[in-house]
Amino acid sequence: ETGVTQTPRHLVMGMTNKKSLKCEQHLGHNAMYWYKQSAKKPLELMFVYSLEERVENNSVPSRFSPECPNSSHLFLHLHTLQPEDSALYLCASSQDRGSASYEQYFGPGTRLTVT
Amino acid sequence: GQNIDQPTEMTATEGAIVQINCTYQTSGFNGLFWYQQHAGEAPTFLSYNVLDGLEEKGRFSSFLSRSKGYSYLLLKELQMKDSASYLCAATDSNYQLIWGAGTKLIIKP
């Protein structure tokens, strides 16, 4: 498999559930990102990892917890979510962080619905 | 604050030309990206501009004016498959991407 993959593609969860989103990149990149995409809103950067170290956390609620066990895998652990957290969650990777010209490669996203 | 503005929606005719504009205000500037996103799919990279001027890549071209905080994406010989959202994103001084909300382009036969 090539590029950036995400599982599951669709997830419906109750507010009291715990679930995890998985992202894997096969590009040999050093930086990985989690984004939230809501309808008609700009992409919201949630977390950035560079060489497996978290370098940014943009005031994301603690009910979202990222994990980066190695440079190829990224997880987003979810617990006690709210209905307003329903959105498309995109994972992306880039060669490095700290150089503006490196484009990001995105996965297909997980469509999350919180009931 | 940091901000990206682009039209919400545009409509064009198959075979025609369309220009999607983007204005940005960022803390520092390290370049501007355009991405294409088909409905239900991942955004894919189209272009990157850091110097003033026009970059041409097949049917797609991207222009940047740093002094005006302005960019546009020009799509020529439109095809039905070009129906998608087009995302503009500027890189700030911390190399963080600031994203616009996207322009949904509808192509009519």
Nearest to A11 by CA among A74, A108, A87: A87
Residues of A in contact with B32 (CB under 8 A): none
* Per-residue pLDDT band at A2 (split at 50, 70, 90): low
- Each residue's pLDDT tens digit, A102-114: 899 999 999 999 9
Q: What is the DSSP letter of B58?
A: T
Q: CB B30: neighbour CB atoms within 10 A?
A: 17
Q: CB-based contact (8 Å) between A99 and chain B?
A: yes
Residues of A in contact with B89 (CB under 8 A): 43
- Each residue's pLDDT tens digit, A48-86: 998 878 877 778 999 999 999 999 999 999 999 999 999
- Tell me the CA distances in angstroms from B32 to A32, A96, B100, one per residue in order: 19, 17, 11
Query: How many whole angstroms separate alpha carbon A75 and alpha carbon A6?
Result: 10
Tens of each residue's pLDDT in chain B, 109 residues: 789 999 999 999 999 999 999 999 999 999 999 999 999 899 999 999 999 999 999 999 999 999 999 999 999 999 999 999 999 999 988 888 999 999 999 999 9
